[in-house]
Amino acid sequence: MVQEYTYLAVFSAVFTVILGVTVDLQEMTVKDSPTNAPYTAIAFLIGSLTSILAGYIGMRIAVYTNTRTTYGCCEETHIGFQSAFRGGQVLGFVLVGLALLVLELIMICFKATWFDGAYDALENPSEEQTSELVRRLFELVAGYGLGGSSVALFGRVGGGIYTKAADVGADLVGKTLKDLREDDPSNPGTIADNVGDNVGDIAGMGADLFGSLAESTCAALVVSSTSFELIMQPDALYFPLMITSAGIIASFFSVLLAECSRVTEANVQTVLKLQLLYSTVIMSVFLIPVVSLLPVTFSLPGHADVSQWTAYGCILFGLWSGMIIGFSTEYYTSNAYGPTLYLVKNCEQGPAPNVIQGLALGYLSCIIPILCLTATIGYSFQTTGMYGIGLAALGMLGSLPVALAIDGYGPIADN
């Protein structure tokens, strides 16, 4: 992990310099306003470092929790589940909270240093000049999302390839050559498999979803600057951040319900699956007072009168579509339902039917997610334009702390 982050740090430093001498040196279109330098580069570097930090925290928590989960399972199933799920909760809440906190600090600092100076330099700034400055400010902040995604590219893809290669290698050696059980301690390849789970499914996944959250939030902020009504109302301008904040609170209450449940070997899957439902329903309610931060009606390019409840509908479309996608994925991959059981029967006929039916099942499982994404994008763009698509993306990431808690629970319990 240290080796991976060393390469990532070198890449981030080099790309920061590239951004500084290209994007940041472009002159502003507004007269007498300063250049971008070095704000985009700084935001990119901060985003990269924050993504690395989030992955490192997740790794440390996972390694620390693995042995505690093992000890808990020796005592009682409920204790082992709590240890693994709480480790996943730390990953989820720390990552989302850290992404939101750092983004807010960047916006505050950039506003105090770049925006206020550029705005004060203008004499009687017009509506167009104000909108241009706000848009430029959020474009500078957007480097934060680019930094998170750049680290996610290495962490998720590189870590994912490593963990799958280690997993398959360990299984081939153990089962094919030595006739060992899966994860047999006498097979040294299982150590690489366990390390790969942490690198790919914890650090890599954390960096990936951190980048998605940062990019979606920055995109919504940039698009919101096209509406003068939103610019003139600071609470409305920061509305994308409030969506994620509502998701954190909703996820907190959702995991409390899991803590109150009595978990056994038979209902572990049900408890985890209900977490998505709980967080979605709770967040749908918590968003109602948050939507009141928006103007009753506001204008966007191509949409003269957009109501606050139309924006609420875009968020709900993304939120509930994300839940449906999660449930459909669980249906097509769980050993408790028909698709996987049908694949099991095909495996008895040999490797060829296994491969063919497995590919067909994978293609079939994409239909529901594609329909959900299409419906979400279609409704959001038709009613609210690009701003609606940004809100829908944030809604789909609204229950991210719970989703990360469930994702982190997997490799922790497995190891």
Each residue of 285-320: pLDDT tens digit? 999 999 988 988 888 888 878 899 999 999 999 999
pLDDT for res 209:
87
Residues with Cβ within 8 Å of residue 87, at least 6 apart in sequence: 61, 62, 64, 65, 68, 69, 408, 409, 412
CA distance 244 to 103: 12
pLDDT for res 26:
63
Indicate whether 84 pLDDT > 80.
Answer: yes
Burial class (CB within 10 angstroms; exposed 0-12, middle 13-18, buried 19+) of 67: exposed
pLDDT for res 74:
84
CA distance 248 to 213: 13
pLDDT for res 34:
57
**38 prior amide bond cis, ω within 30:** yes
Indicate whether 10 pLDDT > 60.
Answer: yes
CA distance 396 to 388: 12
Residues with Cβ within 8 Å of residue 307, at least 6 apart in sequence: 296, 297
Q: Phi and psi for 348 in degrees, rounded to 5? A: -70, -20
pLDDT for res 28:
47
* pTM metric for this prediction: 0.88
DSSP sequence for 109-129: HHIIIIIHHHHHTSSS--HHH
SS3 8: helix
Residue with the larger pLDDT of the pair 213 and 304 = 213
DSSP conformation class of 414? H
Confidence label for 33 from pLDDT (cuts 50, 70 and 90): low
Q: How far is CA 40 from CA 11, 99, 114, 232, 292, in A?
A: 16, 17, 11, 24, 32
CA distance 239 to 312: 11
Q: Of 79-93, 155-169, 386-400, give the range with the top mean pLDDT.
A: 386-400
Beta strands in 204-244 (DSSP E): none
- Helix/strand/coil percentages in the chain, nearest 5: 80, 0, 15
DSSP conformation class of 263? -
Task: Read off the tokens for 67.
Answer: 């042995």
Indicate whether 115 pLDDT > 90.
Answer: no
- Residue type for position 119: Y
Nearest to 60, CA basis, from 211, 199, 251: 199
CA distance 184 to 177: 13
SS3 298: strand
Q: Tell me: the pLDDT tens digits for 350-402?
A: 889 889 999 999 999 999 999 999 999 999 999 999 999 999 999 999 889 99
Task: Read off the tokens for 243.
Answer: 């969506």
Average pLDDT in the chain: 86
Task: Read off the tokens for 103.
Answer: 């983004």
Q: Of 81-85, 167-171, 202-206, give the range with the top mean pLDDT.
A: 81-85
- CA torsion 246→252→253→256, rounded to 10°? 170
